[in-house]
Amino acid sequence: MAWRGCVMHLTKTGFIRCTKASPRDSRLNPHNQQRCAFRREAKRTDTNKGNVSQETELAASKAGEPVNVKSPPPPPPPAHSPRARPTLFKPFVFTIGFTGCSFGVAAILQYESLKSRFDTVREEAKPNKELKGSEDMTYWHNWWNQLNGVQKQLILLLSSADDLWSSFSEGQRTAAGIIAVNALVLCCWRIPSLQRTMIKYFTANPAAKTRCLPMVLSSFSHYSVFHMVANMYVLWTFSTSIVSLLGREQFIAVYLSAGAISNMVSYCCKTATGRLYPSLGASGAVMTVLAAVCAKVPEAKLGIILLPMVTFTAGNALKALIAIDTAGLVMGWRYLDHAAHLGGALFGVWYVAYGHKVIWRNREPFVKLWHSIRSPGNGGRRPGSGPGSL
Protein backbone atom coordinates (compact mmCIF):
# COMPACT_ATOMS: atom_id res chain seq x y z
CA MET A 1 0.00 0.00 0.00
CA ALA A 2 2.90 2.34 0.77
CA TRP A 3 4.46 1.44 -2.59
CA ARG A 4 1.23 2.15 -4.39
CA GLY A 5 1.03 5.50 -2.66
CA CYS A 6 4.56 6.38 -3.77
CA VAL A 7 3.87 5.38 -7.35
CA MET A 8 0.71 7.38 -7.48
CA HIS A 9 2.49 10.36 -6.01
CA LEU A 10 5.28 10.15 -8.60
CA THR A 11 2.79 9.73 -11.43
CA LYS A 12 0.82 12.78 -10.45
CA THR A 13 3.99 14.80 -10.11
CA GLY A 14 5.18 13.78 -13.57
CA PHE A 15 1.79 14.58 -15.13
CA ILE A 16 1.77 17.99 -13.59
CA ARG A 17 5.32 18.64 -14.83
CA CYS A 18 4.30 17.59 -18.36
CA THR A 19 1.41 19.96 -18.39
CA LYS A 20 3.65 22.77 -17.17
CA ALA A 21 6.12 22.21 -19.96
CA SER A 22 7.55 25.01 -22.07
CA PRO A 23 5.63 26.48 -25.03
CA ARG A 24 8.06 24.75 -27.36
CA ASP A 25 7.03 21.35 -26.02
CA SER A 26 3.38 22.22 -26.09
CA ARG A 27 3.57 22.54 -29.85
CA LEU A 28 3.73 18.79 -30.09
CA ASN A 29 0.29 18.44 -28.53
CA PRO A 30 -2.29 18.65 -31.31
CA HIS A 31 -5.06 19.56 -28.90
CA ASN A 32 -3.14 22.52 -27.57
CA GLN A 33 -2.30 23.63 -31.12
CA GLN A 34 -5.90 23.63 -32.16
CA ARG A 35 -6.94 25.57 -29.12
CA CYS A 36 -4.18 28.09 -29.62
CA ALA A 37 -5.04 28.48 -33.28
CA PHE A 38 -8.68 29.12 -32.37
CA ARG A 39 -7.65 31.73 -29.86
CA ARG A 40 -5.26 33.37 -32.27
CA GLU A 41 -7.97 33.58 -34.95
CA ALA A 42 -10.44 35.16 -32.53
CA LYS A 43 -7.99 37.87 -31.62
CA ARG A 44 -7.51 39.04 -35.21
CA THR A 45 -8.70 42.56 -35.85
CA ASP A 46 -10.88 43.71 -38.74
CA THR A 47 -7.82 45.16 -40.43
CA ASN A 48 -6.12 41.79 -40.53
CA LYS A 49 -9.28 40.19 -41.92
CA GLY A 50 -9.43 42.79 -44.62
CA ASN A 51 -5.79 42.16 -45.47
CA VAL A 52 -6.37 38.41 -45.60
CA SER A 53 -9.39 38.81 -47.87
CA GLN A 54 -7.45 41.15 -50.14
CA GLU A 55 -4.57 38.69 -50.34
CA THR A 56 -6.99 35.86 -51.11
CA GLU A 57 -8.67 37.87 -53.87
CA LEU A 58 -5.26 38.82 -55.32
CA ALA A 59 -4.15 35.18 -55.36
CA ALA A 60 -7.41 34.08 -56.96
CA SER A 61 -7.10 36.74 -59.64
CA LYS A 62 -3.61 35.59 -60.47
CA ALA A 63 -4.84 32.01 -60.74
CA GLY A 64 -7.53 33.06 -63.19
CA GLU A 65 -10.42 32.24 -60.89
CA PRO A 66 -13.45 34.57 -60.62
CA VAL A 67 -13.28 36.96 -57.75
CA ASN A 68 -16.32 38.17 -55.85
CA VAL A 69 -15.37 41.68 -54.84
CA LYS A 70 -17.45 43.09 -52.02
CA SER A 71 -18.53 46.70 -52.37
CA PRO A 72 -17.70 49.05 -49.51
CA PRO A 73 -20.49 49.84 -47.07
CA PRO A 74 -22.70 52.79 -48.08
CA PRO A 75 -21.94 56.12 -46.45
CA PRO A 76 -24.30 57.33 -43.75
CA PRO A 77 -27.27 59.34 -45.05
CA PRO A 78 -26.78 63.09 -44.94
CA ALA A 79 -28.64 65.15 -42.44
CA HIS A 80 -32.05 66.33 -43.59
CA SER A 81 -31.86 69.80 -44.97
CA PRO A 82 -34.72 72.19 -44.23
CA ARG A 83 -37.54 72.02 -46.78
CA ALA A 84 -37.53 74.90 -49.21
CA ARG A 85 -40.63 77.03 -49.13
CA PRO A 86 -42.73 76.67 -52.28
CA THR A 87 -43.28 79.60 -54.57
CA LEU A 88 -46.84 80.86 -54.92
CA PHE A 89 -46.58 82.70 -58.23
CA LYS A 90 -48.50 80.09 -60.25
CA PRO A 91 -51.32 79.73 -57.67
CA PHE A 92 -51.61 83.53 -57.54
CA VAL A 93 -51.90 83.84 -61.33
CA PHE A 94 -54.37 80.94 -61.38
CA THR A 95 -56.53 82.63 -58.73
CA ILE A 96 -56.74 85.87 -60.70
CA GLY A 97 -57.41 84.09 -64.00
CA PHE A 98 -60.00 81.74 -62.56
CA THR A 99 -61.84 84.58 -60.82
CA GLY A 100 -62.00 86.58 -64.06
CA CYS A 101 -63.19 83.56 -66.05
CA SER A 102 -65.86 82.78 -63.44
CA PHE A 103 -67.40 86.24 -63.66
CA GLY A 104 -67.09 86.26 -67.46
CA VAL A 105 -68.93 82.94 -67.78
CA ALA A 106 -71.53 84.14 -65.26
CA ALA A 107 -72.20 87.24 -67.37
CA ILE A 108 -72.66 85.05 -70.47
CA LEU A 109 -75.01 82.69 -68.62
CA GLN A 110 -77.12 85.61 -67.43
CA TYR A 111 -77.32 86.96 -70.97
CA GLU A 112 -78.42 83.56 -72.33
CA SER A 113 -80.98 83.12 -69.56
CA LEU A 114 -82.56 86.51 -70.22
CA LYS A 115 -82.57 85.87 -73.96
CA SER A 116 -84.29 82.53 -73.43
CA ARG A 117 -86.97 84.14 -71.28
CA PHE A 118 -87.52 86.83 -73.88
CA ASP A 119 -87.93 84.22 -76.63
CA THR A 120 -90.38 82.23 -74.49
CA VAL A 121 -92.56 85.27 -73.83
CA ARG A 122 -92.58 86.08 -77.53
CA GLU A 123 -93.66 82.54 -78.43
CA GLU A 124 -96.47 82.63 -75.89
CA ALA A 125 -97.77 85.87 -77.40
CA LYS A 126 -98.50 84.24 -80.77
CA PRO A 127 -102.18 83.71 -81.80
CA ASN A 128 -104.07 80.34 -81.80
CA LYS A 129 -102.30 79.40 -78.62
CA GLU A 130 -105.53 78.42 -76.89
CA LEU A 131 -106.56 76.04 -79.68
CA LYS A 132 -103.16 74.39 -79.59
CA GLY A 133 -103.39 74.06 -75.83
CA SER A 134 -106.75 72.29 -76.03
CA GLU A 135 -105.34 69.85 -78.56
CA ASP A 136 -102.42 69.14 -76.27
CA MET A 137 -104.79 68.44 -73.37
CA THR A 138 -106.72 65.92 -75.44
CA TYR A 139 -103.52 64.16 -76.47
CA TRP A 140 -102.23 63.88 -72.90
CA HIS A 141 -105.63 62.67 -71.65
CA ASN A 142 -105.68 59.83 -74.16
CA TRP A 143 -102.07 58.96 -73.33
CA TRP A 144 -102.86 58.80 -69.60
CA ASN A 145 -105.75 56.39 -70.17
CA GLN A 146 -103.44 53.97 -71.99
CA LEU A 147 -101.06 53.57 -69.00
CA ASN A 148 -101.24 50.76 -66.43
CA GLY A 149 -101.26 51.15 -62.64
CA VAL A 150 -97.49 50.92 -62.05
CA GLN A 151 -96.72 53.49 -64.72
CA LYS A 152 -99.30 55.85 -63.29
CA GLN A 153 -97.82 55.50 -59.78
CA LEU A 154 -94.35 56.25 -61.12
CA ILE A 155 -95.57 59.31 -62.97
CA LEU A 156 -97.38 60.54 -59.86
CA LEU A 157 -94.17 60.12 -57.85
CA LEU A 158 -92.19 62.10 -60.40
CA SER A 159 -94.91 64.74 -60.40
CA SER A 160 -94.67 65.03 -56.59
CA ALA A 161 -90.89 65.42 -56.84
CA ASP A 162 -91.36 68.10 -59.48
CA ASP A 163 -93.82 69.94 -57.26
CA LEU A 164 -91.34 69.79 -54.37
CA TRP A 165 -88.57 71.11 -56.60
CA SER A 166 -90.85 73.91 -57.79
CA SER A 167 -91.59 74.88 -54.19
CA PHE A 168 -87.91 75.65 -53.60
CA SER A 169 -86.67 79.15 -54.12
CA GLU A 170 -84.11 79.89 -56.81
CA GLY A 171 -81.38 80.05 -54.19
CA GLN A 172 -82.36 76.70 -52.71
CA ARG A 173 -82.36 75.06 -56.13
CA THR A 174 -78.88 76.45 -56.77
CA ALA A 175 -77.66 75.25 -53.39
CA ALA A 176 -79.19 71.82 -54.06
CA GLY A 177 -76.96 71.45 -57.11
CA ILE A 178 -73.87 72.34 -55.08
CA ILE A 179 -74.89 69.89 -52.35
CA ALA A 180 -75.30 67.12 -54.94
CA VAL A 181 -71.77 67.71 -56.25
CA ASN A 182 -70.35 67.62 -52.70
CA ALA A 183 -72.22 64.38 -51.96
CA LEU A 184 -70.83 62.81 -55.14
CA VAL A 185 -67.26 63.75 -54.18
CA LEU A 186 -67.85 62.38 -50.68
CA CYS A 187 -68.83 59.02 -52.20
CA CYS A 188 -65.68 59.05 -54.34
CA TRP A 189 -63.58 59.27 -51.16
CA ARG A 190 -64.99 55.86 -50.16
CA ILE A 191 -63.65 54.12 -53.29
CA PRO A 192 -60.15 52.68 -52.56
CA SER A 193 -59.00 52.80 -56.17
CA LEU A 194 -59.60 56.58 -56.29
CA GLN A 195 -57.64 57.48 -53.15
CA ARG A 196 -54.53 58.70 -54.96
CA THR A 197 -56.57 60.78 -57.39
CA MET A 198 -58.64 62.28 -54.59
CA ILE A 199 -55.57 63.20 -52.56
CA LYS A 200 -53.86 64.71 -55.60
CA TYR A 201 -56.72 66.81 -56.95
CA PHE A 202 -59.21 67.25 -54.09
CA THR A 203 -56.88 68.37 -51.28
CA ALA A 204 -55.16 71.76 -51.28
CA ASN A 205 -51.52 71.63 -50.23
CA PRO A 206 -48.93 74.33 -51.11
CA ALA A 207 -46.14 71.72 -50.96
CA ALA A 208 -47.76 69.38 -53.51
CA LYS A 209 -46.83 69.21 -57.17
CA THR A 210 -50.42 69.91 -58.27
CA ARG A 211 -51.44 73.13 -56.54
CA CYS A 212 -53.69 75.15 -58.86
CA LEU A 213 -56.62 72.91 -59.76
CA PRO A 214 -57.07 71.60 -56.17
CA MET A 215 -57.70 75.18 -55.04
CA VAL A 216 -61.13 74.92 -56.67
CA LEU A 217 -61.83 71.18 -56.45
CA SER A 218 -61.09 71.01 -52.73
CA SER A 219 -63.99 73.43 -52.18
CA PHE A 220 -66.32 70.58 -53.15
CA SER A 221 -64.44 67.90 -51.22
CA HIS A 222 -65.28 66.52 -47.77
CA TYR A 223 -63.94 63.35 -46.20
CA SER A 224 -66.18 63.46 -43.13
CA VAL A 225 -69.96 63.27 -43.38
CA PHE A 226 -70.35 65.62 -40.41
CA HIS A 227 -68.06 68.18 -42.05
CA MET A 228 -70.11 68.16 -45.24
CA VAL A 229 -73.45 68.32 -43.42
CA ALA A 230 -72.33 71.31 -41.34
CA ASN A 231 -71.09 73.28 -44.35
CA MET A 232 -74.05 72.44 -46.56
CA TYR A 233 -76.54 73.33 -43.83
CA VAL A 234 -75.06 76.83 -43.56
CA LEU A 235 -75.07 77.15 -47.35
CA TRP A 236 -78.72 76.02 -47.54
CA THR A 237 -79.71 78.46 -44.79
CA PHE A 238 -78.21 81.51 -46.53
CA SER A 239 -78.80 80.42 -50.14
CA THR A 240 -82.13 82.21 -50.56
CA SER A 241 -80.77 85.48 -49.19
CA ILE A 242 -77.55 85.47 -51.20
CA VAL A 243 -79.22 84.57 -54.51
CA SER A 244 -81.91 87.19 -54.07
CA LEU A 245 -79.14 89.66 -53.31
CA LEU A 246 -76.78 88.81 -56.17
CA GLY A 247 -78.70 86.68 -58.64
CA ARG A 248 -78.04 83.06 -59.51
CA GLU A 249 -75.27 83.58 -62.04
CA GLN A 250 -73.40 86.14 -59.97
CA PHE A 251 -73.72 83.93 -56.88
CA ILE A 252 -72.14 80.98 -58.71
CA ALA A 253 -69.24 83.18 -59.81
CA VAL A 254 -68.73 84.49 -56.26
CA TYR A 255 -68.89 80.98 -54.78
CA LEU A 256 -66.33 79.52 -57.18
CA SER A 257 -64.03 82.51 -56.85
CA ALA A 258 -64.30 82.35 -53.06
CA GLY A 259 -63.02 78.76 -53.10
CA ALA A 260 -59.89 79.76 -55.03
CA ILE A 261 -59.28 82.98 -53.06
CA SER A 262 -59.71 81.37 -49.63
CA ASN A 263 -57.28 78.60 -50.55
CA MET A 264 -54.82 81.19 -51.85
CA VAL A 265 -54.89 82.93 -48.46
CA SER A 266 -54.41 79.54 -46.83
CA TYR A 267 -51.41 78.86 -49.08
CA CYS A 268 -49.80 82.14 -48.07
CA CYS A 269 -50.23 81.51 -44.34
CA LYS A 270 -49.01 77.92 -44.56
CA THR A 271 -45.95 78.96 -46.52
CA ALA A 272 -45.15 81.82 -44.14
CA THR A 273 -45.43 79.63 -41.03
CA GLY A 274 -43.86 76.51 -42.59
CA ARG A 275 -46.86 74.34 -41.72
CA LEU A 276 -47.31 72.67 -45.08
CA TYR A 277 -50.25 70.32 -44.57
CA PRO A 278 -53.21 69.55 -46.86
CA SER A 279 -56.74 70.81 -46.28
CA LEU A 280 -60.13 70.34 -47.89
CA GLY A 281 -63.71 71.48 -47.49
CA ALA A 282 -66.15 74.17 -48.58
CA SER A 283 -65.71 76.23 -45.42
CA GLY A 284 -63.93 79.10 -47.18
CA ALA A 285 -66.61 79.50 -49.86
CA VAL A 286 -69.41 79.08 -47.30
CA MET A 287 -67.82 81.75 -45.12
CA THR A 288 -67.93 84.10 -48.11
CA VAL A 289 -71.68 83.53 -48.46
CA LEU A 290 -72.28 83.98 -44.73
CA ALA A 291 -70.12 87.10 -44.52
CA ALA A 292 -71.74 88.69 -47.59
CA VAL A 293 -75.24 88.29 -46.16
CA CYS A 294 -74.22 89.40 -42.65
CA ALA A 295 -72.37 92.44 -43.99
CA LYS A 296 -75.27 93.48 -46.24
CA VAL A 297 -78.00 92.87 -43.65
CA PRO A 298 -76.26 93.25 -40.26
CA GLU A 299 -79.54 93.76 -38.37
CA ALA A 300 -80.96 90.35 -39.35
CA LYS A 301 -81.68 87.98 -36.47
CA LEU A 302 -79.89 84.65 -36.41
CA GLY A 303 -80.14 81.67 -34.08
CA ILE A 304 -78.63 78.28 -33.28
CA ILE A 305 -80.43 75.18 -34.48
CA LEU A 306 -80.14 73.37 -31.12
CA LEU A 307 -80.75 76.52 -29.04
CA PRO A 308 -83.66 78.37 -30.65
CA MET A 309 -84.06 80.62 -27.62
CA VAL A 310 -80.62 82.17 -28.25
CA THR A 311 -80.71 84.90 -30.90
CA PHE A 312 -78.16 87.44 -32.07
CA THR A 313 -77.71 89.85 -34.94
CA ALA A 314 -75.91 88.90 -38.14
CA GLY A 315 -73.33 91.64 -37.62
CA ASN A 316 -72.36 90.33 -34.17
CA ALA A 317 -72.18 86.76 -35.50
CA LEU A 318 -69.79 87.86 -38.24
CA LYS A 319 -67.57 89.70 -35.77
CA ALA A 320 -67.45 86.67 -33.47
CA LEU A 321 -66.51 84.31 -36.30
CA ILE A 322 -63.74 86.62 -37.53
CA ALA A 323 -62.40 86.95 -33.96
CA ILE A 324 -62.35 83.15 -33.45
CA ASP A 325 -60.59 82.51 -36.74
CA THR A 326 -58.06 85.26 -36.05
CA ALA A 327 -57.28 83.77 -32.65
CA GLY A 328 -56.94 80.31 -34.19
CA LEU A 329 -54.57 81.62 -36.85
CA VAL A 330 -52.38 83.49 -34.36
CA MET A 331 -52.26 80.67 -31.81
CA GLY A 332 -51.64 77.99 -34.42
CA TRP A 333 -54.78 75.90 -34.03
CA ARG A 334 -54.67 73.16 -36.65
CA TYR A 335 -58.07 71.53 -36.28
CA LEU A 336 -59.58 73.96 -38.81
CA ASP A 337 -58.09 75.96 -41.66
CA HIS A 338 -58.62 79.34 -40.03
CA ALA A 339 -56.68 81.15 -42.76
CA ALA A 340 -59.14 79.91 -45.39
CA HIS A 341 -62.06 80.97 -43.18
CA LEU A 342 -60.64 84.45 -42.78
CA GLY A 343 -59.89 84.74 -46.49
CA GLY A 344 -63.43 83.74 -47.41
CA ALA A 345 -65.02 86.06 -44.85
CA LEU A 346 -62.94 89.07 -45.91
CA PHE A 347 -63.67 88.40 -49.57
CA GLY A 348 -67.42 88.28 -48.87
CA VAL A 349 -67.35 91.56 -46.96
CA TRP A 350 -65.23 93.24 -49.64
CA TYR A 351 -67.41 92.03 -52.49
CA VAL A 352 -70.74 93.38 -51.19
CA ALA A 353 -69.05 96.66 -50.26
CA TYR A 354 -66.84 97.32 -53.31
CA GLY A 355 -66.35 94.25 -55.47
CA HIS A 356 -69.83 94.28 -56.96
CA LYS A 357 -69.26 97.78 -58.29
CA VAL A 358 -65.75 97.01 -59.51
CA ILE A 359 -66.45 93.66 -61.20
CA TRP A 360 -70.11 93.00 -61.94
CA ARG A 361 -71.27 96.46 -62.94
CA ASN A 362 -68.43 96.76 -65.42
CA ARG A 363 -69.42 93.64 -67.35
CA GLU A 364 -71.37 95.56 -70.03
CA PRO A 365 -68.51 95.80 -72.60
CA PHE A 366 -67.93 92.07 -72.33
CA VAL A 367 -71.65 91.31 -72.73
CA LYS A 368 -71.83 93.56 -75.79
CA LEU A 369 -68.90 91.70 -77.28
CA TRP A 370 -70.62 88.37 -76.64
CA HIS A 371 -73.85 89.72 -78.11
CA SER A 372 -72.07 90.73 -81.31
CA ILE A 373 -70.53 87.25 -81.55
CA ARG A 374 -73.76 85.50 -80.63
CA SER A 375 -76.00 87.46 -83.00
CA PRO A 376 -73.91 88.79 -85.89
CA GLY A 377 -75.62 91.45 -87.99
CA ASN A 378 -78.35 91.96 -85.37
CA GLY A 379 -78.53 95.58 -84.45
CA GLY A 380 -81.27 95.05 -81.87
CA ARG A 381 -80.91 95.92 -78.27
CA ARG A 382 -79.44 93.27 -76.04
CA PRO A 383 -81.56 91.85 -73.21
CA GLY A 384 -81.73 94.12 -70.20
CA SER A 385 -79.96 93.47 -66.96
CA GLY A 386 -81.68 90.93 -64.78
CA PRO A 387 -81.38 90.22 -61.08
CA GLY A 388 -78.08 90.93 -59.45
CA SER A 389 -78.18 94.60 -58.50
CA LEU A 390 -77.45 95.46 -54.94
Partners of 313 in beta bridges: 301
CB contact set of 284 (below 8 Å; sequence gap of 6+): 219, 258, 259, 261, 262, 263, 265, 266, 337, 340, 341, 343, 344
Would you report the helix, strand and coil content of the chain in percent, each value rounded to 5?
Answer: 70, 0, 25
> What separation in angstroms does the CA of 85 have from each of 92, 210, 215?
15, 15, 18
Supply the DSSP string of 157-192, one letter for each residue: HHHHHHHHHHHS-HHHHHHHHHHHHHHHHHHHTT-G
Q: Which phi and psi (to 5°) does residue 301 adopt?
A: -90, 130
E strand spans, 218-369:
301-303, 311-313
Cα(175)–Cα(290) distance, integer angstroms: 13
224 is catalytic: no
Q: Respond yes or no: is residue 341 known to be catalytic.
A: yes
Radius of gyration of the chain, Cα coordinates, nearest whole angstrom: 42
Cα separation, 102 vs 110, whole angstroms? 12
Which of 283, 338, 356, 371 is catalytic? The answer is 283
Those residues whose C-beta lies under 8 Å from the C-beta of residue 95, and which sit 6 or more positions away, are: 215, 260, 261, 264
The catalytic residue among 222, 227, 338, 341 is 341
Q: Could you list the active site residues?
A: 283, 341
